[in-house]
């Protein structure tokens, strides 16, 4: 059919057109569905088709030949088809693009002519070609406008980004400058603070230097003063030593004279048939003792006060020995005279037997002492029952020490810390006891009772309990009893009034915890054997220092303490013991009796009066005991107590006075005046510092 031929011609013309020779990309589908829509939709002439006919077609017709014009006119009827565009626009559709070949080439000219003929054969092809050209122009114009708008938009964005970057750069520079400024300020403040601290440290060092210089100056002055004092003490010691040495020589001379008197008395041995070897032997021992003291003093430099005291006691013993010897000789002479009289009387009676008188036998009179009283010897040793009680207490104390030996000998730091905490918790409250108010005393008692009961107590900012160690209770009980006795040895010895508050707490603890009371007695008997009463005997082979320790003396570096200090400590412990036996804890139970009451005080007083007195010791302890406990014993035993006081005055005073030297009469005179005043007033005064009801209300 003719129409089919024209379609192929149209396709051929389109293939030969500029659009037909374009290269299309295979990924055109990715551009969107609008491309496919344009291909599927029915081609339509654009409203710009008239513009194409008016501008493109006239320019094309001018360049065509007349033959071509005629042929086109001839073919116009054949191509006449219905169209939506005006007649004038048809002319424009006959335009065809020039061939790419040059106009001089025949082949290009032929193809151009052939193409023009093919294009002019179909009005639809012309329309399509015009639409394509119009579409390209519009698309190009739109693309150009869009590109221009895009460029303007990009330029605007670039300017905005540039301005924003510039502002950010300014802000960054400002923050950086601010940071640098702050760092500079901080550095300057640190430097200023360091400078101030350095100045302060420098001032502090200067002050410390001045303080240390002042302390060093004080220490130098103190050292110089100490040196002067030591030099003065050394001079005084030498003077005292030289005086003691001269005194020892005088004592030795007197002892030797007394020894000669003993030798002079030896002439009575054969006459009176007496054995005086014991007196002579003891005299030789005393002379040897004084000679040994002088020899040791010469080797050590100068004799001590203890050496002088021992020599004085030896001299006194020598005097007593000579006096006893003279009394023995006097008694022997009296006995010889009596026997002579009896023999003479027997002879007279024998001569009168023949006269028948009744024979009268004279009975010998009892031996009389120098004062006309019967000479009865007192005990030197303690009673067996008392000695057994003393040994039982010491054994119980030794067993208690063995019970906590593992705690004291442990090398573990934790065990050592527990031991130290327990010791502080037990001893510090006892050290705080003094003549304070009763409420404070009750707090101390409750703290000690809680510790012994296994409850935790505060000590040194930490909670302490005997349950921290299996051996804690034994350790605390032993240390607590030891501290009570030590308080009597030190605090009560210096301040007699402190005996009563310490004793009332000890009595209350004793009542609630009897084992603590037994340990208190064991410590008291060990440090002060006269509280038993017990006079330790010197055993053969025993060192002198050990014997002095048994007597209660403190021996350090082979030096025995002064007699005054010894009596002061014994006095403090006896006063504490006398206060304990008469006091009870006021907040305790009154149903049971006192665990160690006044009956033990009466026993102690009776036993010490049944024992031979000791020079300077017995008088001191009797005075302290009666001053503290005499009022309570007077109220308890009444007439029996006054009989005891009369016995002391009439029988015991002469015994004490007989063994006391002239330099040791102070304690004896004090006891004598005290009892004489009490007998005159018929009352023992209440001791100073006794706890009254007002004390517990405070």
pLDDT of residue 527: 93
Q: For the segment 436-466, what is each residue's pLDDT rounded down to a tens digit?
A: 666 788 889 999 999 999 898 988 788 899 8
Taking residues 594-611, what's their average pLDDT? 91
**Distance of CA 401 to CAs 7, 255, 454, 476, 539, Å?**
136, 48, 19, 11, 26
3-state secondary structure of 399: helix
Q: For the segment 75-93, what is each residue's pLDDT rounded down to a tens digit?
A: 433 333 333 334 333 333 4
Q: Could you tell me the sign of the dihedral formed by the alpha carbons of 474, 476, 477, 479, in that order?
A: positive
Most confident of 3-7, 333-337, 508-512: 508-512
Residue 261 scores a pLDDT above 50: yes
Please, which residues bridge with residue 458 across strands?
463
pLDDT of residue 349: 56
Q: What is the mean pLDDT of the chain?
A: 78
Residue 122 scores a pLDDT above 70: no
Residue 371 scores a pLDDT above 50: no
Taking residues 249-257, what's their average pLDDT? 79
**Distance between CA atoms of 100 and 13, rounded to whole angstroms?**
14
Lowest mean pLDDT, pick from 11-25, 118-132, 493-507, 641-655: 118-132
Residue 70 scores a pLDDT above 60: no
Q: Sorting pLDDT into bands at 50, 70 and 90, what band is 350?
A: low
Taking residues 135-164, what's their average pLDDT? 91
Q: Are 671 and 623 in contact (CB under 8 A)?
A: yes
**Distance between CA atoms of 642 and 634, rounded to whole angstroms?**
7
**Distance between CA atoms of 116 and 68, rounded to whole angstroms?**
9
Taking residues 285-305, what's their average pLDDT? 76
Burial of 558 per CB tally in 10 Å (0-12, 13-18, 19+): exposed
pLDDT of residue 96: 39
Q: In 488-551, where does DSSP find H-type helix? A: 493-494, 499-512, 514-527, 544-550
3-state secondary structure of 464: strand
**Distance of CA 267 to CAs 262, 274, 332, 685, Å?**
10, 10, 13, 56
pLDDT of residue 89: 39
In the DSSP assignment, the letter for residue 488 is I
**Distance between CA atoms of 302 and 361, rounded to whole angstroms?**
64
Provide, rounded to the nearest whole percent, the portion of the chain with pLDDT above 90.
Answer: 31
pLDDT of residue 31: 55
Residue 119 scores a pLDDT above 70: no
pLDDT of residue 372: 34
* Max intra-chain CA distance, the chain: 238
**Distance of CA 447 to CAs 419, 444, 676, Å?**
18, 5, 44
**10 Å Cβ neighbour count for 348?**
9
Q: For the segment 377-432, what is each residue's pLDDT rounded down to a tens digit?
A: 566 566 778 888 989 999 999 999 998 888 888 888 888 898 999 999 999 999 88
**Distance between CA atoms of 601 and 583, rounded to whole angstroms?**
12
**Distance of CA 388 to CAs 383, 418, 520, 547, Å?**
9, 36, 17, 20
**Distance between CA atoms of 698 and 687, rounded to whole angstroms?**
20
Q: For the segment 302-328, what is each residue's pLDDT rounded down to a tens digit?
A: 777 787 788 888 888 888 877 777 777
**Distance between CA atoms of 131 and 150, rounded to whole angstroms?**
27
Domains plus CATH for the chain? 259-343 (no CATH), 410-697 (1.25.40.510)
pLDDT of residue 317: 82
DSSP states along 555-618: EETTEEPPHHHHHHHHHHHHHHHHHHTT---TTS-SSSPPTT-HHHHHHHHHHHHTB---TTHH
- The backbone torsions φ and ψ at residue 164, rounded to the nearest 5 degrees and listed phi first, read -65, -40
**Distance between CA atoms of 169 and 199, rounded to whole angstroms?**
44
Is the pTM value of this prediction over 0.85? no
Provide, rounded to the nearest whole percent, the portion of the chain with pLDDT above 70.
Answer: 75
Please calculate the CA angle 225-231-236 and round it to the nearest 5 degrees: 125
**Distance between CA atoms of 13 and 151, rounded to whole angstroms?**
38
Q: Sorting pLDDT into bands at 50, 70 and 90, what band is 24?
A: low
pLDDT of residue 50: 64
């Amino acid at each position: 059919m003719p129409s089919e031929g024209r379609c192929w011609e149209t396709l051929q013309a389109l293939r030969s057109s500029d659009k037909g020779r374009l290269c299309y990309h295979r990924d055109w589908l990715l551009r969107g569905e609008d491309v496919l829509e344009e291909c599927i939709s029915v081609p339509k002439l654009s409203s710009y088709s008239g513009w194409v006919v008016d501008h493109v077609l006239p320019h094309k017709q001018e360049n065509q030949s007349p033959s071509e014009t005629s042929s086109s006119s001839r073919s116009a009827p054949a191509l006449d088809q219905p169209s939506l565009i005006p007649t004038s626009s048809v002319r424009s559709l006959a335009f065809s693009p020039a061939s790419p070949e040059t106009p001089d080439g025949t082949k290009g000219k032929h193809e151009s002519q052939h193409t023009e003929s093919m294009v002019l054969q179909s009005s639809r092809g012309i329309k399509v070609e015009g639409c394509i050209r119009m579409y390209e122009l519009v698309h190009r114009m739109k693309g150009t406008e869009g590109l221009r708008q895009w460029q303007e938009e990009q330029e605007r964005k670039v300017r905005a980004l540039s301005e924003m970057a510039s502002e950010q750069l300014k802000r960054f520079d400002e923050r950086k400058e601010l940071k640098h400024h702050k760092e500079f300020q901080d550095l300057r403040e640190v430097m200023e603070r360091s400078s101030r601290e350095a100045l302060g440290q420098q001032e502090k060092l200067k002050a410390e230097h001045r303080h240390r210089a002042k302390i060093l100056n004080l220490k130098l002055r103190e050292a110089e003063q100490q040196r002067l004092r030591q030099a003065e003490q050394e001079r005084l010691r030498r003077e005292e030593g030289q005086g003691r040495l001269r005194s020892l020589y005088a004592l030795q001379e007197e002892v030797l004279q007394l020894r000669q008197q003993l030798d002079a008395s030896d002439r009575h041995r054969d006459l009176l048939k007496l054995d005086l070897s014991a007196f002579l032997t003891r005299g030789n021992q005393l002379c040897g003792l004084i000679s040994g003291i002088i020899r040791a003093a010469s080797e050590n430099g100068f004799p001590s006060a203890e050496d002088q005291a021992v020599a004085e006691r030896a001299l006194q013993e020598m005097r007593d020995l000579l006096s006893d010897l003279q009394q023995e000789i006097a008694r022997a002479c009296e006995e010889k005279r009596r026997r002579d009289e009896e023999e003479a009387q027997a002879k007279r009676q024998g001569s009168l037997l023949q006269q028948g008188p009744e024979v009268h036998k004279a009975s010998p009179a009892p031996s009389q002492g120098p004062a006309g009283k019967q000479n009865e010897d007192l005990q030197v040793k303690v009673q067996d029952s008392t000695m057994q009680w003393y040994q039982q207490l010491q054994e119980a104390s030794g067993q208690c020490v063995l019970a906590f030996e593992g705690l004291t000998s442990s090398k573990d730091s934790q065990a050592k810390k527990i031991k130290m905490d327990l010791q502080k918790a037990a001893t510090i409250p006892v050290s705080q006891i003094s003549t304070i108010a009763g409420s404070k005393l009750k707090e101390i008692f409750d703290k000690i009772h809680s510790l012994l009961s296994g409850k935790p107590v505060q000590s040194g900012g930490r909670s302490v309990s005997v349950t921290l160690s299996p051996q804690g209770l034994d350790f605390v009980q032993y240390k607590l009893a030891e501290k009570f006795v030590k308080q009597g040895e030190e605090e009560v010895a210096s301040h007699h009034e402190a005996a009563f508050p310490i004793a009332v707490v000890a009595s209350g603890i004793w009542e609630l915890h009897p084992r603590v009371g037994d340990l208190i007695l064991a410590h008291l008997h060990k440090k002060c054997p006269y509280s038993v009463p017990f006079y330790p005997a010197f055993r053969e082979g025993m060192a002198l220092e050990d014997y002095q320790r048994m007597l209660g003396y403190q021996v350090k570096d082979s030096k025995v303490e002064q007699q005054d200090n010894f009596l002061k400590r014994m006095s403090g412990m006896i006063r504490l013991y006398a206060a304990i036996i008469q006091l009870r804890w006021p907040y305790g139970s009154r149903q049971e009796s006192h665990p160690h009451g006044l009956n033990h005080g009466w026993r102690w007083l009776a036993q010490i009066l049944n024992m031979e007195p000791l020079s300077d010791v017995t008088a001191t302890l009797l005075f302290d005991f009666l001053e503290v406990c005499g009022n309570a014993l007077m109220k308890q035993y009444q007439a029996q107590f006054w009989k005891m006081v009369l016995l002391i005055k009439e029988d015991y005073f002469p015994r004490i006075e007989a063994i006391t030297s002239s330099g040791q009469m102070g304690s004896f005179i004090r006891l004598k005046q005290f009892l004489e005043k009490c007998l005159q007033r018929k009352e023992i005064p209440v001791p100073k510092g006794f706890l009254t009801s007002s004390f517990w209300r405070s």
